[in-house]
Amino acid sequence: MSILDQLLNAIPSPDEPVREVVIGAHWTAVASRHCGLASTLPEPHPHTGPSVKDAGGLIEKTTKQLMNLAFSPALMEAAVGLATLNSVVNVDMDRCTETNAFEILAARGMGKNMGIIGHFPFVPRLKEIARTLWVIEQHPREDDLSPDRAPAVLPRCHVVGITGTSLINHTLDGLLKFCRSDAFVMLLGPTTPLTPLLFECGIDALSGSKVVDEEKVLRYVKEGCTFRQLHHAGVMLLTMVK
Query: What are the average pLDDT values for consecutive 10-residue runs of the chain, which has 242 residues?
Result: 91 82 95 96 67 84 94 95 96 93 94 95 94 93 91 97 97 96 96 96 96 94 87 88 94
Backbone φ, ψ for residue 164 (5° rounding): -65, -20
Q: Please give the pLDDT value at position 48.
A: 61
Cβ contact 35:87 at 8 Å = yes
Q: Please give the pLDDT value at position 15.
A: 83
The span from the CA of 120 to the CA of 237, in Å, is 15
Q: Please give the pLDDT value at position 219.
A: 94
Q: Please give the pLDDT value at position 47.
A: 54
The span from the CA of 80 to the CA of 46, in Å, is 17
Q: Please give the pLDDT value at position 14.
A: 64
Q: Please give the pLDDT value at position 220.
A: 93
Query: CB count, 10 Å around CB of 156?
Result: 14
Backbone φ, ψ for residue 126 (5° rounding): -65, -35
Sheet holding 20-23, edge to edge: 20-23, 27-31, 35-39
Q: Please give the pLDDT value at position 179.
A: 97
Q: Please give the pLDDT value at position 148.
A: 94
What do you get for the CA distance between the two ends of the chain, in Å?
Answer: 21
Query: Cβ contacts of residue 158 below 8 Å, gap of 6+?
Result: 109, 112, 113, 114, 180, 182, 183, 184
Q: Please give the pLDDT value at position 32.
A: 95
Q: Please give the pLDDT value at position 185.
A: 98
Q: Please give the pLDDT value at position 33.
A: 94
Give CA separation, 78 vs 69, 161, 205, in Å: 5, 21, 23
Cβ contact 225:26 at 8 Å = yes
Enumerate the β-bridge partners of residue 238. 208
**What Rg, from alpha-carbon coordinates, does the chain have?**
17
Query: CB count, 10 Å around CB of 214?
Result: 16
Q: Please give the pLDDT value at position 35.
A: 97
pTM: 0.93
Query: Can you list the domains of the chain with their CATH numbers?
Result: 3-90+213-232 (3.30.390.100), 94-207 (3.40.50.11590)
